[in-house]
Structure 1
């Protein structure tokens, strides 16, 4: 199955002032497109050609670095666009909120852990909320890596590569992460992934 660039699920200026039109144009139209094009070229003639994206990501990890980097970033960004929405943040759906409180102590404590994971990821990478062995866990990964390759199902991720925030926040990564978690997260989509992860 070849990779393709999806349209954004909202207008380019819909996430302002927390994420600008310019950021989305560069991030989606140039960076994500590059992962798609490079990934398709690197996929040709491999054992993973024609396989589902998750299988490509997990299968190429540690075996084909170029393919993994691009497939991982394609997977991450497919969900990243959906993990945000205009007027995001706000109320977390009931069962997910209860699980967050059970596993982290409170929603505020979870947000603190999530932001800290993103702030302390040295260089490029991602911070995550994932389901592993029935529990919610916060983690961070370098570059295009994600929880799939560590036996977990990601349900929320935030891109901390500089191209995702530098136009709007310059070097203020903590401010970007706080804006993301408080004002951009599409909790309905996170909840959808949470429910799907529980069934795996």
Structure 2
């Protein structure tokens, strides 16, 4: 076979493989991320039973439902069924947001957490809130005040180059609904605290500050500023 023939043969093979490779990529599933610490590592602030149920049951359910919903959405796209696409969007928002939010949440926590942030993050907090304690108080108040289920967030406003506090209902993802880049999230769905703190949400929010991984929050700020 001549060199030109070989080149042509390779191109034809590549062209034949492309649709198959695309199909494989389209079928790639979301997966439940592993934790970098044991379920009991955040005690006494969050007990092992809560962490085990929260991660292996609740987050896993969001992941599974997201995969199912995305598969149905791809089918609707292929058929050009706009009605089905629209009807699936609430499930995409809810389960997709649940997966995004919890993936951030686990890394925001650490057995060696708590205390105060350092360096550029602390400087930004003092600049935008006056003091670390003031930011902590404002974020705690906004988080406790979430009606029903939702999240309290410390986010980065890229346009203003500043930190902002926000609250989102249900599993609405911060960036997708407000434009703020998430740095630190506190989950105030009852499954995140009820087994330990019952209906006293303020006690849970107060305790969780002792497990905040400020190194992770700082890294998220650096990435958000790029």
1:190 aligns with 2:217: yes
Q: Secondary structure at the match of 1:144?
A: coil
Q: Which runs of 4+ in 1 moved over 6 A?
A: 60-63
1:126 aligns with 2:151: yes
1:142 aligns with 2:142: no
Question: Hey, what's the Cα distance between the residues in 2 that align with 1:127 and 1:61?
Answer: 28
- Kindly indicate which of the two structures has a greater share of residues assigned to helix: 2
Q: TM-score with structure 1 length normalisation?
A: 0.89
Question: Hey, what's the Cα distance between the residues in 1 that align with 2:145 and 2:88?
Answer: 27
CA deviations over 1:80-124 (Å, ceiling 9, x no partner)? 111000031113021000000000010000000110011110000
CA deviation after TM superposition for structure 1 residue 15, in Å: 0.4
1:87 aligns with 2:115: no
Query: How many aligned positions are there?
Result: 188
Q: Secondary structure at the match of 1:137?
A: strand
Structure-1 residue corresponding to 2:24: none
- Using CA pairs below 8 Å that are at least 6 residues apart, which structure has the higher relative contact order? 1
Question: Hey, what's the Cα distance between the residues in 2 that align with 1:117 and 1:185?
Answer: 17
Q: Secondary structure at the match of 1:14?
A: coil
Q: Secondary structure at the match of 1:90?
A: coil
Structure-1 residue corresponding to 2:91: 66
Q: Secondary structure at the match of 2:163?
A: strand
Could you list the runs of 5+ residues in structure 1 that have no partner in the other structure? 48-59
**Distance of aligned partners of 1:63 and 1:180 in 2 relative to their CA distance in 1, 3 Å threshold:** same
Q: TM-score with structure 2 length normalisation?
A: 0.79
Could you list the runs of 5+ residues in structure 2 that have no partner in the other structure? 1-27, 75-84
